Structure 1
Amino acid sequence: MAEETDFIGLISSFLGPASDDVDRVSPAPAVSSVAPSISKNNDDFDVLPSTRVVIFSKDRPWQLQQLMRSMKLPIIDNASPDNHDASFVQHVDMFIICRATTADFAEGYEQIRQAYCQVDTQIKPCFLYEGEWMGRDALDHVSISDIIENKSFSSLLEYALNTRCATDAASPAPSFVMFLTDDCVLLDCLEVVLAHAIGSLQYDQKDRVFNFLTRLHPGISRCQTRDCMSPSPRNWQYHSLIPYLNNAFNTDAHESVKHHDGIYLYTTKSGSTEWNYPVDLSGGVYRYKDVQMILKQIRTEDKDCNGKHGFSDQGGLSHPNTFEVRGNQAVLAIDNDLVAARKTLSAVPSRPLMVVLAINRVQDVCHAPIAGSGEGRVAQSTLTANDNNSTDPTDPSALLKLLLNGRNLDLERYLSTPYNSSHIGDVFLCDQLNVSQSSELQELSPDVSVLIPVHRGVDFVSHSIASIIMQCVDELHQPLDDETRGPQSSLSSMQIVIVDDRCDDGSIDVMIQSCKKLLDSQPNILLMVFDHREGQITLHEEHQQQQKRHHPQPTISIAIDIIASKSPGVASALNTGLDHCRSELVARMDADDICAPGRLISQLRFMRGNSSVNVVGASAVIFSTKDDQDTNDCTILPYHSVAPNSNQCHIVRTSLPVIDPGFLSWTMLFTCTISHPTVMFRKSAIDEIRGYDESIKCAEDYDLWLRMLEKDCRSILCLPFVGVWHRKHKHNNSVTNSLAQKKEANEACYRAICKKILSSPDDETDESLDIEHITALKDPATATSLDSINNAARLLMNMESTFLQKNDMCLTEHEIKLIQNDCNARIGELATIAISKFGKDYTDHFKFNSSEGPCYVWRLWSDRCPNEQFQRLSLLCHLTTTS
Structure 2
Amino acid sequence: MSAAVVIFSKDRPLQLCGCLSSLTTCIRDSSDAQIHVIYKASDASFAAAYARLAERWTDARVHWSREAPGCAISSALEGLEASHVLFTVDDALFLRPLAPSLSRCVALLEENDALLSVCLRLNPRVEYSHPAGSFFPPPVLHWTRERDALLLRRLREGDCSGGCGGDAGGTGADEWSMPFDLSGSIYRTSDLRRLFTCIEESPVLGREWLDHPNRLEAAGNRAIQELMSGLDLNATRPFTAAPTQPLLTLITANRVQDVYSNAIYADAPQWDIRSLLATFHQIDRTHTSHTDFLTAVDGFFAAPFYTSTYWDCLHTPPPPLSASAAVPRSPDGPEPLVSWLVPAHNAKKYVDECIDSIGGQTDIGAGVYEVVLVDDCSTDGTLGRLHARGADDPRIRVVSTPENLGVAGALNYGMSRCRGTLVARLDADDVAEPHRLATQLRYLATHPSVAVLGTAFTTFTDPPTSHSPPSPSEASNAMPMMPLGDRVYRPACHPVLVRWHMLFRCPIAHPTVLINRPVWEGGRGRGLDGEGGLDLVYPTDEAAEDHARWLGLPPGVVVCNVGDICVRLRRHGRQRSATHHKELQESSIRAVHRYMQRHVDTSVTVEEVQVLWKQRRIDGSTTGRRIDDLLKALENHFVQLIDDLAGQAREAPQQQQMGSDWWADGRTAALKQHIHCATERIRGEMCLVELSQGNMEGSLPLLLEWLKNPSSQQQLKRLTAGS
Instruction: Provide TM-score, normalisation by structure 1.
Output: 0.64
Aligned counterpart for 1:772 among listed residues 594, 607, 623 = 607
Residues 869, 50 of structure 1: CA spacing in aligned structure 2 closer, same or farther, 3 A cutoff? closer
Residues 430, 728 of structure 1: CA spacing in aligned structure 2 closer, same or farther, 3 A cutoff? farther
Structure-to-structure mapping, 1:294-309, within 5 angstroms? 294-297=195-198
* Cα distance in 1, alignment partners of residues 32 and 585 from structure 2: 53
* Cα distance in 2, alignment partners of residues 587 and 690 from structure 1: 16
Residues 440, 270 of structure 1: CA spacing in aligned structure 2 closer, same or farther, 3 A cutoff? closer
Structure-to-structure mapping, 1:366-381, within 5 angstroms? 366-372=259-265
The 8 Å contact of residues 786 and 834 in structure 1, kept in 2 or not, is answered as: no
Structure-to-structure mapping, 1:248-647, within 5 angstroms? 260=149, 262-267=151-156, 272-273=172-173, 274-297=175-198, 315-328=208-221, 331=224, 332-338=226-232, 342-364=236-258, 366-372=259-265, 391-398=269-276, 401=279, 404=283, 407-415=299-307, 417-424=309-316, 426-429=317-320, 432=323, 441-442=332-333, 444-446=335-337, 448-472=338-362, 475=363, 493-507=368-382, 510=385, 531=390, 539-540=391-392, 559-565=395-401, 568-625=405-462
Task: Report Cα offsets for 1:782-807 as digits up to 9, x if no partner.
Answer: 55666444433322222222332354
Aligned counterpart for 1:691 among listed residues 536, 548, 566 = 536
Other-structure match for 1:862: 707
The offset of 1:105, in angstroms, is 4.5
Please state if 1:740 is matched with 2:583: yes
The 8 Å contact of residues 621 and 655 in structure 1, kept in 2 or not, is answered as: yes
Residues 285, 439 of structure 1: CA spacing in aligned structure 2 closer, same or farther, 3 A cutoff? closer
The offset of 1:391, in angstroms, is 4.4
The 8 Å contact of residues 391 and 398 in structure 1, kept in 2 or not, is answered as: no
Further displaced range: 688-697 or 340-349: 340-349
Task: Report Cα offsets for 1:229-283 as digits up to 9, x if no partner.
Answer: 65566xx44123536x5xxxxxxxxxxxxxx263323326857554443331111
Aligned counterpart for 1:162 among listed residues 54, 75, 79 = 79
Larger radius of gyration: 1
The offset of 1:180, in angstroms, is 0.4
* Cα distance in 1, alignment partners of residues 72 and 687 from structure 2: 59
Other-structure match for 1:209: 115
Please state if 1:225 is matched with 2:137: no
Secondary structure of 1:826's partner?
Answer: helix
Residues 215, 631 of structure 1: CA spacing in aligned structure 2 closer, same or farther, 3 A cutoff? closer
The offset of 1:112, in angstroms, is 5.7
Question: What amino acid is the match of 1:595?
Answer: A
Structure-to-structure mapping, 1:665-680, within 5 angstroms? 665-680=499-514
Residues 443, 801 of structure 1: CA spacing in aligned structure 2 closer, same or farther, 3 A cutoff? closer
Q: Which runs of 5+ in 1 are unaligned?
A: 1-48, 77-86, 118-122, 132-150, 164-172, 246-259, 306-313, 374-388, 477-489, 514-528, 532-538, 545-557, 633-648, 759-763, 848-854, 879-883
The offset of 1:603, in angstroms, is 2.1
* Cα distance in 2, alignment partners of residues 69 and 495 from structure 1: 42
Secondary structure of 1:429's partner?
Answer: coil
The offset of 1:115, in angstroms, is 6.5
* Cα distance in 1, alignment partners of residues 26 and 263 from structure 2: 33
Further displaced range: 575-584 or 689-698: 575-584
Other-structure match for 1:818: 674
Further displaced range: 431-440 or 792-801: 431-440
Residues 623, 65 of structure 1: CA spacing in aligned structure 2 closer, same or farther, 3 A cutoff? same
The 8 Å contact of residues 614 and 681 in structure 1, kept in 2 or not, is answered as: yes
The 8 Å contact of residues 225 and 369 in structure 1, kept in 2 or not, is answered as: yes
Task: Report Cα offsets for 1:584-617 as digits up to 9, x if no partner.
Answer: 3332211112223533322222111221223222
The offset of 1:126, in angstroms, is 0.7
The offset of 1:434, in angstroms, is 9.4
Question: What amino acid is the match of 1:454?
Answer: A
Aligned counterpart for 2:626 among listed residues 766, 784, 791 = 791
Q: Which runs of 5+ in 2 are unaligned?
A: 161-171, 284-295, 470-482, 523-533, 647-667
Secondary structure of 2:25's partner?
Answer: coil
Question: What amino acid is the match of 1:813?
Answer: A
Question: What amino acid is the match of 1:355?
Answer: T
Please state if 1:831 is matched with 2:695: no
Aligned counterpart for 1:177 among listed residues 85, 99, 103 = 85
Aligned counterpart for 1:708 among listed residues 553, 566, 573 = 553
Residues 820, 629 of structure 1: CA spacing in aligned structure 2 closer, same or farther, 3 A cutoff? same
Instruction: Provide TM-score, normalisation by structure 2.
Output: 0.77
The 8 Å contact of residues 344 and 375 in structure 2, kept in 1 or not, is answered as: yes
Question: What amino acid is the match of 1:267?
Answer: R
Question: What amino acid is the match of 2:683?
Answer: I
The 8 Å contact of residues 154 and 238 in structure 2, kept in 1 or not, is answered as: no
Task: Report Cα offsets for 1:692-743 as digits up to 9, x if no partner.
Answer: 234344222112222334233xx12222232222222222122333333223
Residues 692, 176 of structure 1: CA spacing in aligned structure 2 closer, same or farther, 3 A cutoff? farther
The 8 Å contact of residues 302 and 324 in structure 2, kept in 1 or not, is answered as: no
Residues 372, 505 of structure 1: CA spacing in aligned structure 2 closer, same or farther, 3 A cutoff? same
Task: Report Cα offsets for 1:91-131 as digits up to 9, x if no partner.
Answer: 422222333445665565567666653xxxxx754140427
Question: What amino acid is the match of 1:562?
Answer: V
The 8 Å contact of residues 264 and 349 in structure 1, kept in 2 or not, is answered as: no
The offset of 1:691, in angstroms, is 0.5
Question: What amino acid is the match of 1:371?
Answer: I
Secondary structure of 1:363's partner?
Answer: coil
Q: Tell me the matched-pair count.
A: 646
Secondary structure of 1:427's partner?
Answer: coil
Structure-to-structure mapping, 1:130-141, within 5 angstroms? 130=66
* Cα distance in 1, alignment partners of residues 268 and 684 from structure 2: 51
Which structure has more relative contact order (CA 8 Å, sep 6+)? It is 2
* Cα distance in 2, alignment partners of residues 301 and 789 from structure 1: 48
Other-structure match for 2:64: 128
Other-structure match for 2:472: none
The 8 Å contact of residues 3 and 85 in structure 2, kept in 1 or not, is answered as: yes
Identity of aligned residues (%): 24
The 8 Å contact of residues 211 and 284 in structure 1, kept in 2 or not, is answered as: yes
The 8 Å contact of residues 824 and 865 in structure 1, kept in 2 or not, is answered as: no
Other-structure match for 1:60: 12
The offset of 1:357, in angstroms, is 2.2
Question: What amino acid is the match of 1:755?
Answer: R
Secondary structure of 2:155's partner?
Answer: strand
Residues 679, 68 of structure 1: CA spacing in aligned structure 2 closer, same or farther, 3 A cutoff? farther
Task: Report Cα offsets for 1:154-192 as digits up to 9, x if no partner.
Answer: 5997567634xxxxxxxxx32321100011233442354
Aligned counterpart for 1:659 among listed residues 486, 493, 497 = 493
The 8 Å contact of residues 177 and 287 in structure 1, kept in 2 or not, is answered as: yes
The 8 Å contact of residues 138 and 490 in structure 2, kept in 1 or not, is answered as: no
Residues 846, 504 of structure 1: CA spacing in aligned structure 2 closer, same or farther, 3 A cutoff? closer
Question: What amino acid is the match of 1:669?
Answer: L
Residues 614, 846 of structure 1: CA spacing in aligned structure 2 closer, same or farther, 3 A cutoff? closer
Secondary structure of 1:673's partner?
Answer: coil
Residues 182, 268 of structure 1: CA spacing in aligned structure 2 closer, same or farther, 3 A cutoff? farther
The offset of 1:457, in angstroms, is 2.0
- Runs (4+) of structure 1 exceeding 6 A deviation are 433-440, 627-632, 649-652
The 8 Å contact of residues 116 and 125 in structure 1, kept in 2 or not, is answered as: no
